């Protein structure tokens, strides 16, 4: 049994990962801004225990408070999975500085602060791991989403730097790069399209597997990266996208 902190786990990939970790007996400490869904996630059946802290990842004090609360709840930390993300879509002229800074804080600064806060606790684990959800958006671009693509690319760089610094201490640091996953997270992108049905049809046609992925499929990769089976993987950016970036 190990202890996992998931930042951004009330819905989508985070929620599916929480279920998968708990199913194998791991304890999960969830951090999310969505109180209703976070509490619902903790009420779900699972072999591992679940606790939640509600907070806004735009708050720079939240990562340190969340790590302290997780240690208070379970006594240890083995994996910190920073999955929270902010996707804002608008024409370039309509972006405000506040929009840009919010994306930067949630998508890039919060993962850095979680790593900084969690590193001392992770040193006590026999299989310590930091895992960030980046995106194939780090490799490709879409109009209307400059902050998302810039921050997700930055997260890959952060992962590599932290891997070089922390891996000698045994703390592995990796990035998950999901492709198109059918969750509500992508709603801002679809809303930005002039013809949503046509856009989705064209998108799926460009994916070699001819479909979007599911949160559950990504959760299996999260479990692998956090497990001892991935003991020699660090500084990696693992793409799970149905072939989207291969063509």
pLDDT of residue 195: 83
* pLDDT mean across residues, the chain: 95
Architecture of the domain whose range is 3-240: 3-Layer(aba) Sandwich (3.40)
Residue at token pair 């969505």: 34
pLDDT tens string 159-191: 999 999 999 999 999 999 999 898 777 777 667
pLDDT of residue 184: 75
Span 106-126, average pLDDT: 98
Query: Are 216 and 107 a contacting pair, CB within 8 Å?
Result: no
pTM of the model: 0.94
Bigger pLDDT: 43 vs 197: 43
Bigger pLDDT: 35 vs 142: 35
Q: Is 140 helix (H, G, I), strand (E, B) or coil?
A: coil
Tell me, yes or no, if 244 is annotated catalytic.
Answer: no
Reading the block at residue 128, the tokens are: 């310590």
Sheet-wide strand order for 172-178: 50-54, 27-32, 3-7, 79-82, 129-133, 172-178, 237-240
Active-site choice (29, 74, 148, 185): 148
Q: Nearest 10 degrees: CA dihedral of 224, 226, 232, 234?
A: 110
Backbone angles phi, psi at 76, to 5 degrees: -160, 165
pLDDT of residue 194: 73
pLDDT of residue 29: 98
Stretch among 1-5, 21-25, 200-204, 237-241 having the lowest mean pLDDT: 200-204
Q: CA-CA distances (angstroms) from residue 33 to 59, 60, 204? A: 11, 14, 31
Strands 50-54, 27-32: pairing is parallel
Quote the Cα angle for 214-26-135, to 5°: 35
pLDDT of residue 199: 78
At a CB cut-off of 8 Å and minimum separation 6, what does 187 contact? none
């Amino acid at each position: 049994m190990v202890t996992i902190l998931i930042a951004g786990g009330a819905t989508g990939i985070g929620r599916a990962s929480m279920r998968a970790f708990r199913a194998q007996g791991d304890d999960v400490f969830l951090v999310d801004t969505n109180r209703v869904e976070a509490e619902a996630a903790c009420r779900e059946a699972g072999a591992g225990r679940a606790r939640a802290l509600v907070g806004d990842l735009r708050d720079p004090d939240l990562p340190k408070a969340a790590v302290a609360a997780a240690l208070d709840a379970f006594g240890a930390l083995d994996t910190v999975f920073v999955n929270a993300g902010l996707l804002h879509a608008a024409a370039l002229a309509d972006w405000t500085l506040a929009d840009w800074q919010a994306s930067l804080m949630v998508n890039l600064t919060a993962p850095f602060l979680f790593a900084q806060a969690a590193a001392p606790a992770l040193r006590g684990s026999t299989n310590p791991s930091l895992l960030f959800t980046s995106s194939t958006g780090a490799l490709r671009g879409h109009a209307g989403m400059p902050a998302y693509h810039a921050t997700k690319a930055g997260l890959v760089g952060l992962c590599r730097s932290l891997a070089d610094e922390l891996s000698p201490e045994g703390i592995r640091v990796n990035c998950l790069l999901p492709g198109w996953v059918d969750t509500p997270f992508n709603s801002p992108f679809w809303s930005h399209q002039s013809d949503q049905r046509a856009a989705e049809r064209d998108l799926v046609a460009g994916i070699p597997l001819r479909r979007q992925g599911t949160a559950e499929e990504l959760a299996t990769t999260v479990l692998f990266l956090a497990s001892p089976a991935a003991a020699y993987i660090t500084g990696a950016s693992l793409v799970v996208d149905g072939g989207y970036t291969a063509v």
